[in-house]
A and B are shown apart, each in its own frame.
Chain A
Amino acid sequence: MDIPKDKLLWIYERMQLIRVFETRVSTEFGKGKIPGFVHLYAGEEAVAVGICANLTDADYMTSTHRGHGHCVAKGVDVRGMMAELFGKATGICKGKGGSMHIADMDKGMLGANGIVGGGPPLACGSGLTAKTTGTDQVTICFFGDGASEQGTLHESLNLAAIWKLPIIFVAENNGYAESTPAHYHCSVENIADRAAAYNMPGVTIDGNDLFAVYESAHEAVARARAGHGPSLLECKTYRHHGHFEGDAQTYKIAEENEKYRTELDPIKRFKDAVLARSLVSEAEMADIDGRVNAAIDEAVKFAEDSPFPEVQETFTDVYVSY
């Protein structure tokens, strides 16, 4: 499928929005303005955006502790996200969730998740809802290479397969589960190899190639919408930051780190490719850059200017009724 120009522009805008958002979060975190801890998505933008470019707001997504990129790609408002990270009342979750629990039900975003492997069973649930109620909604289940070792993932792959649920399991293999390399923690080289054991197609792709992700997701989403069941896409990628902000990253290999930040950078590769085919101009991209920077500046200002929640908020939203 050709990617229409407006979609190419959207893709570029979303990838940049994630990158600038995360870079800014790193800065603000460094200044001590963001409580708790954050896990940044920079470097993996092509995965979230390449997948989400094939979705609508009605489609569902479950995410991970590294969820900011997924949220931005799914269309969650960056002001509300930034305010959430700052713990403010105007946050997308009223400041009650923070970085690891950003959710937006209106966008089908069923939550970042502080538990590695927490999301896949939930994805089976939204898949079951779509199947039972007869809609064509699909669910994207993002998980990392670390979660691929959790029993919940294996149970969920099996459930999705036997119930033919409309789920696309997306393994974001960034090479490290916290500080532990995938070649140590994972019994197989490719997480997608495991798909065969669950009777579903498994594809290993270059997760830093937006077009490879987009095309594969396009096919997997079409398959799920048509009722042909789940699939497993493994996107090999790399995180520019540590597991969390403040991670000294001594386990990383310097040359590898450098290469992924330069020639293998997903945004650079996207830019080079569209410029080579003259599909988008430098000026159009510069224009987007300007808007993205302004949007993130605005988001930070919004977060800073917003009030903290009233302490009474501690007691609300535990139950619908009690």
Chain B
Amino acid sequence: MAERELNFGEALNEAMRQEMQRDPKVVIMGEDVAGGADVDHLEGDEAWGGVLGVTKGLVKEFGRERVIDTPISESGFIGAAVGAAATGLRPIAEMMFVGFMGVCFDQLLNQGAKLRYMFGGKAKVPLVIRTICGGGYRAAAQHSQVLHSLFTHIPGLKTVVPSTPYDAKGLLISAIRDDDLVIFFEDITFGGIKGAVPEEDYSIPFGKADVKRAGEDVTIVAIGKMVHHSLAAATELEKQGKSAEVIDPRTLSPFDEDTVLSSVEKTGRLVIADESHPRCNVATDIAAMVADKGFDYLNAPIKMVSAPHTPVPFSPPLEDHYLPNPQKINEAALGLF
């Protein structure tokens, strides 16, 4: 089938549309996912289609019973999504910004993530929570966070961080079909990213990393937006005579250890780029894993490129200083030689 260029949001939108067509149990719920609910002149139409327009057009096709605008009640509607998933629906809940997870954390930490285990395997929670993350939008401390590490820590949750439109569609379809609770992180700066996306539905399995660029001298494991920064860094490294392999894990829980380990076995050097804060994040987790299982492969210390242990600042020079970028990754990689 044909491949077109779609941007990141269009790819996600297509994934949801196709899954909603396929399975009547799939519903979307969240703040402004249609927008303008109960406004007479918007009968059957939307105002926003999500704060970034990702769910645009879905209410027209599927109606307000399946594209459900919620009040600004994060505990209430995320908990309702968990309860609905446990009783037979397959909700896709949109948590506008990942920082708002703080409002509903109990419903994820103590309910959604644990029901199956606490009930001895008798419940399942086929729920996807889509959420915006990442800095660079000048959105300040509460709207710019990268918190996938927090959720990766919690047993019972799966975490997905796509970096391309192709991956976004395939991973979201997998997430919707998955019987577990999946948190799906969408970088706020990805709106402009375009890429080839097949028209047909397809799924990308969880726990399978993607080698975005093959290389020989250094492995860069990069998450989300860091994939693009790492590819840019790799281009620079190439000019400096170093061949970098860029690995995108795509899902953090589950995590593809084998692809990372065999790459490090080949290159002997590892840089991990993660926009998270530096303590107890996915980068430290990967570093610990490689130190444990691939120590003998290493010719140099493992380097991590992360944001600092501060909230995300607002002022552009401060935020630019805060964020990891291609140059920082480049420097980290060069330091290993």
Contacts and interface: CB of A to CB of B under 8 A. Distances in A.
A and B touch in the complex (CB under 8 A): yes
A91 interface: yes
B140 interface: no
B82 to A, nearest CB: 6
A151 B86 contact: no
B110 A114 contact: yes
A115 interface: yes
A97 B122 CA distance: 11
Interface string B59-102: 00000011010110101111111111111110000000000000
Nearest to A322: B254
Given A125-B87, A318-B117, A319-B180, A159 B122 contact: no
Given A121-B79, A151-B75, A93 B156 contact: no
Interface string B176-202: 001110000000000000000000000
Given A97-B120, A129-B88, A132-B65, A124 B71 contact: no
B89 A128 contact: yes
A105 B119 contact: yes
Interface residues of B, number: 44
A124 B75 CA distance: 11
B306 interface: no
A152 B75 contact: yes
A105 B78 CA distance: 20
Interface in A109-126: 110-111, 113-115, 118, 120-126
A318 B118 CA distance: 9
A115 to B, nearest CB: 5
A156 B65 contact: no
A152 B116 contact: no
Nearest to B107: A121
A292 interface: no
Nearest to A92: B120
Given A60-B87, A322-B254, A101 B79 contact: no
A113 B111 CA distance: 8
Contacts of B106: 115, 118, 152
A118 B107 CA distance: 7
Contacts of B66: 132
A129 B89 contact: yes
A262 B146 CA distance: 58
Given A133-B88, A159-B73, A321-B179, A122 B111 contact: yes
Given A118-B110, A155-B73, A103 B80 contact: no
A85 B42 CA distance: 53
